[in-house]
Amino acid sequence: MSRYERQYARLLDAQDELAPYREEFYLQEGTIYLDGNSLGLLSKRAEQALFDILQAWKTYGIDGWTSGNDPWFYLSESLGEKMASIVGGKPEEVIVTGSTTVNLHQLVATFYEPKGKRTKILADELTFPSDIYALKSQLKLKGYDPEKHLVLVKSKDGRTIDEADIIAAMTDEIALIVLPSVLYRSGQLLDMKTLTEEAHKRGIMIGFDLCHSVGAIPHQLHDWDVDFAFWCNYKYLNAGPGSVAALYVHETHFGREVGLSGWFGSKKEKQFDMELELAQAAHAGAFQIGTPHILSTAPLIGSLSLFCEVGIEKIRQKSLALTRYMMELVEHELAGYGFTIGNPTDDAQRGGHVYLEHPEAARICKALKAEGVIPDFRKPNGIRLAPVALYNTFEDVWQTVQILKQMMKEGRHKQFDNERGVVA
């Protein structure tokens, strides 16, 4: 049997121990969903968790804060404990709160302490732009010019960042480092352990944006001695559009005064004393600001139960197998059609998606959608395809490449303009 036949893909699916979890998700008939690195699909458990929270509100009213199966007053902490195994943190080091950028603001406001010649923040030019906006804003708030005090490591190829270049930029002028775990376009996975070690050798604190890695790859944040991290939960963790995010703070920083204080950062037993002096929580909960968005947090209860049941190591193994298979098919089936694989091919350097480059990427993505394949376009010429371990199959991957091949062969993509939509 040829590796490039549908039957081979079906054989791989028959051997896949995670295959039954596909039934946990709402999949649209006739559609292959490959945009889980932007927004994960709804699971039946996430849906039920939201219904359960609504029922608690209906039943208990305000007493839902302390009653029911998932009391709202402790929900951020209890979910942080469950999520800790996914990111390799201690239970008290993780809290579900805020949004990605709000959490970044909170963390930078806390950990960016310019002193003497150490006044600069180090990042990279390929990171998600919202992180750069936040870093520039924090520099301005401290009275510094972002043009001079935000150091961006350059990319040599426009796709990846050389870790040696990041380390070389860790000068004695750097006060803080904020980097992505996985570059959102190319899917490059940075070596967080080594980068953290190198930063700490130079007396620099370092944090990571895990938006494109959490739920797709294992982390060992505590053991790697990472100072802080932050992430969204609506991509690989499937917690729903705009779901509440999360953050991690290493226990060595417990007790540090947070940069942006709010009443939900209180010690629980003191919060309703309503004193004018904040009794700050002695764990990651201190980094909360305002009242949690319970309805936007609820789906994560169900979603996390899937990840705790399956285990992140098994998810990573299947994710790598899916992306490896997709790259193999692309190289064999799409040769001569102008596609370039822009993501790292080494398993140790690749996140959860495949990144194809093509001069007509925008119209190709539109054509794929018309054919029932949901990709993600990234300006100027990128097509992100994320076969997700819990609900995509090897046959999905095979069929996607076949659709793409036939579409290019017949030129069906030419009927679409080569410009992105308002939402890419």
pLDDT digits over 225-259, tens only? 999 999 999 999 999 999 999 999 999 999 999 99
> So what's the pLDDT on residue 79?
98
Segment 135-161 shows an average pLDDT of 98
Report the alpha-carbon distance of residue 371 to residue 361 in Å, rounded: 15
Report the alpha-carbon distance of residue 399 to residue 319 in Å, rounded: 17
**Residue ranges covered by each domain of the chain:** 6-30+311-415, 48-310
Q: Verify whether residue 201 is a known catalytic residue.
A: no
Q: Which DSSP state fits 347? A: G
Segment 325-343 shows an average pLDDT of 97
Q: Verify whether residue 234 is a known catalytic residue.
A: yes
Residue 419 has pLDDT above 90, yes or no: no
> So what's the pLDDT on residue 20?
98
Instruction: State the CATH architecture for 48-310.
Output: 3-Layer(aba) Sandwich (3.40)
> So what's the pLDDT on residue 1?
81
Taking only the tens place, the pLDDT of each residue in 150-189 is 999 999 999 999 999 999 999 999 999 999 999 999 999 9
Q: Smallest Cα–Cα separation from 129: which of 89, 101, 156, 95?
A: 101
Taking only the tens place, the pLDDT of each residue in 351-374 is 999 999 999 999 999 999 999 999
Contact 215, 156 (CB under 8 A): no
User: Is 48-310 in the same CATH topology as 6-30+311-415?
Assistant: no
Indicate the pTM of the whole model: 0.97
Report the top-level CATH class of 6-30+311-415: alpha beta
> So what's the pLDDT on residue 286?
98
Q: Verify whether residue 10 is a known catalytic residue.
A: no
Q: Which two tokens stand for residue 88?
A: 């390799």
Find the catalytic residue in 25, 144, 208, 234.
234
Q: Which two tokens stand for residue 96?
A: 């579900």
> So what's the pLDDT on residue 232?
98
Contact 32, 372 (CB under 8 A): yes
Could you write out the DSSP letters of every residue in 238-287? ---TT---EEEE-GGGTTPPPSS--GGGB-TTTGGG--SS--B-SSGGGG
Torsion sign (Cα): 222, 269, 107, 79: positive
Report the alpha-carbon distance of residue 252 to residue 256 in Å, rounded: 9
CA distance from start to end of the chain:
38
Q: Which two tokens stand for residue 208?
A: 């990571």
Contact 265, 319 (CB under 8 A): no
Annotated binding site for pyridoxal 5'-phosphate: 100-101, 128-131, 209, 212, 234, 263, 291
Q: Verify whether residue 235 is a known catalytic residue.
A: yes
Residue 23, CB-side half-sphere exposure with 13 Å CA sphere: 4
